[in-house]
Structure 1
Amino acid sequence: MTQPLITQPIPWLDGPFWPFLALLLFAVLPTEIWRWLAVAFSRRLDANSPALEWVRAVATALLAGIVAKLIVAPPGALAAVPLALRVGALAVTLGIMLFDRRRVMLAVLAGEAALIGGAYWLLTP
């Protein structure tokens, strides 16, 4: 009876760097190729075309749906925060965005601070 053929280990793969190589091969490269192709093809697109307006509308709707789900049915530790506080933090964020649309980071940080500060104040004994 003959021995089954077993693939011999590859020395440079069989070590502490294998997880990093696997991450590169199976996570980074499959997504990066699409990003580079998008950059290559986007140079020929008109920024005001109906197709890109549709893409922006879909992206905005998806983001709004995710935010709504996080407020109405939050996962994990956010579920312990009262609904009124979650809605209040969203109101802080939207208030800053309505006041000055160019300060997105300030709006996000202020809403986050309102949420974390309010949760700390309400939930700490």
Structure 2
Amino acid sequence: MSFEGYWPYVYIAVAGWLATDFWRWAGVLVGNRIDERSELLNWVRAVATALVAAVIAKMIFFPTGTLTSSPLWLRLGAVGFGAAAFFLGGRFRQILGIAAAIAFLAAGLALLGA
């Protein structure tokens, strides 16, 4: 089978869509039937939270790419500053927390000349 031009990208897009769209529709159909206070949903939330925490911890303690040029104290400070902005942010807390952490990290790197 020989692909030329844009066909590999079309194939990847269609295969990716088919692989994920089924799970989206299954989530919609099953999600309407799950009790929000159920043990299963509590477990799913706990696992999702743990995965996000693990990814953030990995980025802080074992950085890759551009983050490797920043010292550990700066990465930890950015997380703390972003968390403080999140808790004080009111209605826009998620956007404010992320933007504050990025701004803190960027300002720290600029001051360090990295």
TM class by smaller structure = 0.7 to 0.9
Q: Please say if 1:80 is aligned against 2:69.
A: yes
Q: How many residues align?
A: 113
Distance change in 2, residues 1:91/1:76 (3 Å): same
The residue type equivalent to 1:37 in the other structure is A
Alpha-carbon separation, structure 1, partners of 2:43 and 2:18: 28
Name which of 31, 48, 58 aligns with 2:20.
31
Match of 2:37 in 1: 48
Q: Which has the higher Rg, Structure 1 or Structure 2?
A: 1
The secondary structure found in structure 1 opposite 2:41 is helix
Name which of 76, 81, 100 aligns with 1:110.
100
Question: What's the offset of the Cα at 1:82?
Answer: 0.7
Q: Please say if 1:92 is aligned against 2:76.
A: no
Backbone CA RMSD of aligned residues = 1.9
Q: Please say if 1:63 is aligned against 2:62.
A: no
Distance change in 2, residues 1:38/1:25 (3 Å): same
Alpha-carbon separation, structure 1, partners of 2:40 and 2:69: 41
Alpha-carbon separation, structure 1, partners of 2:70 and 2:51: 23
TM-score by length of 1: 0.80
- For structure 1, the residue ranges without an aligned partner over 5 or more in a row are 1-6
Give the share of equivalent positions with the same residue, in percent. 37
Distance change in 2, residues 1:73/1:101 (3 Å): farther
Alpha-carbon separation, structure 2, partners of 1:56 and 1:101: 23
User: Which consecutive aligned stretches of 4+ in structure 1 deviate over 6 angstroms post-superposition?
Assistant: none
Question: What's the offset of the Cα at 1:101?
Answer: 5.8
TM-score by length of 2: 0.87
